[in-house]
Copies of this chain bind each other. A is one copy, B any other.
Amino acid sequence: MTEPDNIDRLFLAMADPYRRSFIERLSKGPASVKELAAPADVQLPAVLKHLRVLEEGGIVVSEKVGRVRTYRMHKEAFSAMSDWIEQRQREMNAAFDRLADLMAELPEEKDH
């Protein structure tokens, strides 16, 4: 049962504004650590720590060429989260529809 742990990690990785800002940047294309750190108002060690969380969660991947490490999004970064949310949303919609059907079957309320 590794799946729940992994989904925990995915959602937790998203629950930080710095990590989301890195994901927002990387969704537009690969970037080096330096490029990612430039607009962030945090020190490099904190940036590297956040990137490690994203990489361990399977959200980003990195590659080192020479002295430059470049990060990019994992192609399936959001799949597990999206799938989980979509399934819940489908069930919620079905439950709301059933409720609407039930209410439509109620006898009309009389003014009194």
Contacts and interface: CB of A to CB of B under 8 A. Distances in A.
Contact of A12 (B15, B82, B85): B15
A15 B8 contact: yes
Interface residues of A, number: 31
A7 B20 contact: yes
Name the residue among A7, A24, A85 with the largest chain B CB count within 10 angstroms: A85
Contact of A81 (B17, B24, B28, B85): B85
Contact of A88 (B7, B23, B88, B89): B23
A16 B7 CA distance: 9
A10 to B, nearest CB: 8
B17 A14 contact: no
Interface in A41-86: 73, 75, 77-78, 81-82, 84-85
6 contacts: A7-B20, A8-B16, A8-B17, A11-B14, A11-B15, A27-B95
